[in-house]
Amino acid sequence: MRVTLKDIAEAAGVSIMTVSNVINGKRARVSAETVDRVRRIVAELGYVPNAPARSLAARSSLMIGLLVPAATEDSLAISPHNTAMLGHIERGLRRHGYHLLLRGVAERAEIAEALRSWSLDGALLLGFLDEEIDGLDKAVIGTTPVLAVDSYSTNPLTTGVRSDDFTGARLAAAHLLDLGHRDIVFAGPAFTDVGVVHERFLGFRAAFDDRGLSEMDCPIEIVNTTYDDGVGLARRLRSSHPGATAVFTTADILAIGLIDGLKDAGTAVPEDISVVGFDNIDVSAYITPKLTTIAQDIGGKAAVAVDRLLAKVTGQPSPDTPHVLPVQLVERASTTGPRDR
């Protein structure tokens, strides 16, 4: 039989609720002597609080949902970047005594369902599109604190944390421009007039503006951010942009595929084409040539996400502007000056 509050109470000769107070650290309400006695018996009997019972009674669960997009029948496609986030987030929550419910969501209704069903104390949204975040109103998330990571949605309910995408892309483009490149391709997923990719595009353009090169034409290549899409881009790059001497990609994994595809086609990197990535995932230092990229502070992003969410959970006023983490250029071997022509 499992040990319950009642068992402890009987063994200690006190009421159930005194035990409850001890367990929950409400020491002000119990004499030090009683606390000790109860503590001892709890340890002796190996009492473990029943979380569902606690959740039911307290309408709170000490459980945080980490919601990640997933096609219905698909397994969670967790990017290297999000994997690292996941690890840090779990640690952060664990240190604060919270538990993590990981859930792939295929349709918006599942967000509401997850939140309400489990009496989640809060949720982190990782990897959703801005328009999906935009659609989250009180009707779907209720009063549960929710925070979006890497989102530019202006939804005040989800104000969260992200990297300084604008500056990152600007640094990347500045690096290429300073090396002497002028014909630079911007490669990334389709974007609208808001969001991570759009910000990176603006930052990219800003570097040109900074140098009075505003009029310069910058071809955009729309590609998904996978290795294979990078390889595909390499195949058509020479014909679609014969004059290009450099490519800025919005993700390392895309840059890595691009470099491999380029090499296969006999194009030297960086001698013929320089490539800059974004993220600084581990792999980027393993490939040849090592990738020049923009490093995000993943640990910092996770920590801020957890801290902000838990602040909301515990009822502290939450800032209405997102926390923006700095990024930095990591110069490695995939970039050099353009070859004389």
In 3-state terms, what secondary structure has residue 299? helix
Q: Which is nearer to DNA, 118 or 191 (CB)?
A: 118
Q: What is the CA radius of gyration of the chain?
A: 26
Q: Report which residue type is found at 324.
A: V
- Pick the binder of a copy of itself from 13, 29, 52, 137 (CB under 8 A): 52
120 binds DNA (CB under 7 A): no
Instruction: List the one residue from 45, 56, 220, 333 that touches a copy of itself (CB under 8 A).
Output: 56
Cis peptide before 270 (omega within 30 of 0): yes
Nearer to a copy of itself, 64 or 157 (CB): 64
* Contact pattern for a copy of itself over residues 94 through 123, marking x by CB under 8 A: xx---xxxxxx-------xx--xxxx----
Kindly state the tokens that stand for 46: 């190996």
Measured from the CB atom, is 3 or 303 closer to DNA? 3
The CA distance from 314 to 298, in Å, is: 24
Task: Copy the structure tokens of residue 316.
Answer: 């502290």
Q: Pick one of 18, 245, 293, 334: the residue that binds DNA (CB under 7 A).
A: 18
In the block, tokens 């779907």 appear at: 140
Q: Of these, 10, 31, 106, 268, which contacts DNA (CB under 7 A)?
A: 31
Q: Does 10 bind a copy of itself (CB under 8 A)?
A: no
List binders of a copy of itself among 218-257 (CB under 8 A).
227, 256-257
Choose the contact partner of 154 out of a copy of itself, DNA, none; CB within 5 to 8 A by kind.
none
Using CB under 7 A as the binding rule, whether residue 14 contacts DNA is answered as yes
78 binds, among DNA, a copy of itself, none (CB under 5 to 8 A by kind): a copy of itself
CB nearer DNA, residue 23 or residue 179:
23
Whose Cβ is closer to DNA: residue 32's or residue 190's?
Answer: 32
DSSP state of 285: G
In the set 25, 28, 193, 239, which binds DNA (CB under 7 A)? 28
What are the structure tokens assigned to 297, written together?
Answer: 């502070």
Return the percent helix, strand and coil in the chain, to nearest 5: 45, 15, 40
Q: Where are the alpha helices (DSSP H) in 211-271?
A: 227-240, 252-264
Interatomic CA distance for residues 305 and 318, integer angstroms: 12
Let me know how long the chain is.
341
Which ranges constitute the DSSP H helices of 158-226? 165-178, 196-210
- Residue 116 phi, psi dihedral angles, 5° rounding: -75, -40
Q: How far is the CB of 96 from DNA (least distance, A)?
A: 17
Q: Which CB sits closer to DNA, 50 or 83?
A: 50
What angle, rounded to 10 degrees, do the helices at 32-45 and 5-12 form?
Answer: 120
Q: Applying CB under 7 A, does 20 fall inside the site for DNA?
A: yes
Total interface residues for DNA by CB under 7 A = 30
Site for DNA in 34-53 (CB under 7 A): 34, 47, 49-50, 53
CA–CA gap between residue 24 and residue 39 (Å, rounded): 11
DSSP 339: P
Give the whole-angstrom CA distance, residue 36 versus residue 39: 5
Match 């990609």 to its residue by tokens.
Answer: 249
Residue 267 contact partner, candidates a copy of itself, DNA, none, CB within 5 to 8 A by sort of partner = none
The contact set with a copy of itself (CB under 8 A) reads 2, 48-53, 55-56, 61, 63, 66, 70, 73-78, 83, 86-88, 90-92, 94-95, 99-104, 112-113, 116-119, 227, 256-257, 260, 263, 282-283, 285-288, 299, 302
Binding site for DNA (CB under 7 A): 2, 4-6, 13-18, 20-21, 23-24, 28-34, 47, 49-50, 53-54, 56-59
